[in-house]
């Protein structure tokens, strides 16, 4: 009788291991067998293996709901989040799990992300303005229309999971390339109507290893779990830099501060937060 795709089954799992303190070969592939139920994610499977079969297995995770971006790894040859990937949706018999490519490995499935975040910081991923007193002691909020919000909203969904960098062929061949995450976030702030940091970021994104090193393979967008589309952001950033070079880029003043109304009594009341869904017994 043919087994249904949604029935529980035993899955063979191969995990690429790495231990820098191991006396023999530091890299090896280890085989496990795990009974998998429908709905079991790769992260669930790793938890089961660590609890029941091999307590030395190392991996990184946090939120378990595709928000924090901690559990990125190579699953059946494709960069993905372990918490957001169900085992029976990617395989019926054999699952391979490895650390993300394009990164050094700390141990087993844990990548070294220090350089990743250093490159992110190099593009100054924060609002920049000239009115520093307002930033230090705000008197209101920076005005932004819904239409202006849409200019960068898609690119603000990035969770820094590094899957785009892991999938990027340019990163694998050019160690100077900043990478799709950092470049897409540079565009996210350049496109923000409240920001005035375009020229401060230009040196990082237009120089060696910057946006023009991108070959537009598009793999960064294919693996993004949040639909950020870094490839699109990079192309838009290229356009802005070319317009700036040709002096065709429109000069834009950052949006002004929207002062609070003078009549405090007319302000809408801030509603109380709903009660906690989980309470603790004192």
Residue-wise pLDDT for 102-112, tens only, equals 999 999 999 99
Find residue 53's DSSP bridge partners: none
Would you state the pLDDT for residue 67?
95
pLDDT digits (tens, 9 = 90+) for 109-126: 999 999 999 999 999 999
Residue 197 tokens, joined: 């940091």
Task: Write down the pLDDT at residue 233.
Answer: 96
Residue with structure tokens 């409240």? 194
pTM as predicted: 0.87
Q: What is the mean pLDDT of the chain?
A: 90
**Which pLDDT value is given to residue 282?**
42
Residue spans per domain, the chain: 9-111, 114-133+143-251
pLDDT of residue 261: 53
CATH code for the structural domain at 114-133+143-251: 1.10.1060.10
- Rounded to an integer, the average pLDDT of 146-170 is 95
Task: Take residue 254 and report the two structure tokens written for it.
Answer: 């950052």
Output the CATH code of domain 9-111.
3.10.20.30
The answer on pLDDT for 268 being more than 90 is no
> pLDDT at position 46, please?
98
Q: Label the pairing between strands 9-18 and 94-98.
A: parallel
């Amino acid at each position: 009788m043919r087994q249904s795709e949604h029935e529980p089954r035993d899955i063979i799992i191969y995990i690429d291991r790495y231990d820098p303190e191991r006396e023999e070969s530091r890299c090896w592939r280890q085989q496990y067998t795990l009974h998998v139920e429908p709905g079991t994610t790769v992260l669930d499977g790793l938890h089961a293996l660590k609890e029941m079969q091999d307590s030395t297995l190392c991996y990184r995770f946090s939120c378990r709901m595709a928000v924090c971006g901690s559990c990125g790894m190579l699953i059946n040859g494709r960069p993905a989040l372990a918490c957001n990937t169900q085992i029976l949706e990617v395989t019926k018999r054999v699952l391979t799990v490895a650390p993300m490519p394009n990164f050094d490995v700390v141990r087993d499935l844990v990548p070294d992300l220090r350089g990743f975040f250093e490159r992110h910081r190099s593009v100054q991923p924060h609002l920049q303005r000239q009115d520093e007193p307002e930033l230090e002691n705000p008197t209101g909020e920076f005005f932004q229309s819904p239409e202006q919000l849409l200019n960068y909203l898609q690119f603000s969904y990035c969770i820094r999971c590094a899957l785009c960098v892991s999938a990027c062929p340019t990163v694998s061949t050019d160690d100077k390339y900043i990478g799709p995450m950092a470049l897409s976030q540079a565009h996210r702030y350049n496109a923000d109507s409240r920001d005035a940091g375009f020229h401060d970021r230009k040196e990082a994104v237009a120089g060696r290893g910057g946006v023009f090193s991108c070959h537009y393979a598009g793999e960064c967008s294919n693996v993004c779990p949040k639909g950020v589309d870094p490839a699109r952001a990079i192309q838009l950033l290229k356009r802005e830099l070319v317009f700036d070079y040709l002096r065709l880029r429109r000069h834009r003043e950052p949006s002004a501060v929207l002062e609070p109304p003078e009549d405090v009594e007319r302000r809408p009341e801030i509603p109380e937060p709903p009660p906690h869904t989980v309470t603790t017994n004192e």
